[in-house]
Structure 1
């Protein structure tokens, strides 16, 4: 069901209307180890199991065997500046089971190469050396601010 307003019906063709759902789904990397055919989504609170299944099958043509949903309550915390209690928003999770033949692997977007790791270690060592020389130069100047050095 949608809460958006669409143009009213007019006689003749084409009817220039597009019906879009108010639903959204976000792919989430699971914290715990799961089966290879289970996919973890964060979705809008209004979605039911049937909405999730239809959303994936009709829009993305993904065959769905089963859907399980869970509502995670938001955390209660004390506001730092004001001191009153604030509650984070609740989150609805959907665990979608694909057929046994399908396997889903979460994409590794930021893949590290071996050469990149070596470069990172070299730059880290250089930064450590420069910081040690800075400390050695200014050990007798404790009353001067750190930004006031050569």
Structure 2
């Protein structure tokens, strides 16, 4: 049996948006998303590069960083990027939304270093030390082909006729 709401018959609970002493029930999320981008060339420690939506202004990015993340911002420069389009191998076009690039200079005493997300590749010399490689070569050289085949027979057992 379902409950049917008849106007005026069942109570409709309505909470006031705020009253003194009440816990805050609302979360305010920003309307924009901001992406940190690693610059191609080395930059000063107080420089950060962002990809931001096309409708965001330099005043908005400054307020965004100061209010949400408590980061003091000294200067913001904006560069527009128009529609990015690419043609795939089938001949159809793919468009990406327009965005802006924000070049942000942080306040005095603030530094930013882009995190290393991917570990750097190690050389083969670090992964396989030279001494271990030489020791493996000596072990292989000591065993003759007959000793190697005898070793396989002892591991697998003598009951297999296909090994002889």
TM-score range, shorter chain: 0.5 to 0.7
Q: 1:63 aligns with which of 56, 72, 82?
A: 72
1:65 Cα deviation after fit: 0.4
Q: Bigger radius of gyration, 1 or 2?
A: 2
* Structure 1, unaligned runs of 5 or more: 1-7, 122-150
Query: Which runs of at least 4 in structure 1 moved beyond 4 Å after TM superposition?
Result: 113-117
TM-score, structure 1 normalization? 0.60
Query: 1:94 aligns to what?
Result: 102
RMSD of the alignment, in Å? 3.1
Alpha-carbon distance in structure 1 between the residues aligned to 2:93 and 2:122: 47
How far did 1:98 drift?
Answer: 1.0
Instruction: Report the more deviating stretch, 69-78 or 112-121.
Output: 112-121
Quick check: 1:80 aligned with 2:86? no
TM normalised by structure 2 equals 0.56
Q: Distance in 1 between matches of 2:60 and 2:100?
A: 13
User: Distance in 1 between the 2:67 and 2:27 partners?
Assistant: 15
Cα distance between partner residues in 2 of 1:21 and 1:58: 11
Alpha carbons 2:74, 2:108 under 8 Å: kept: no
Structure 2: runs of 5 or more not aligned:
1-13, 130-164
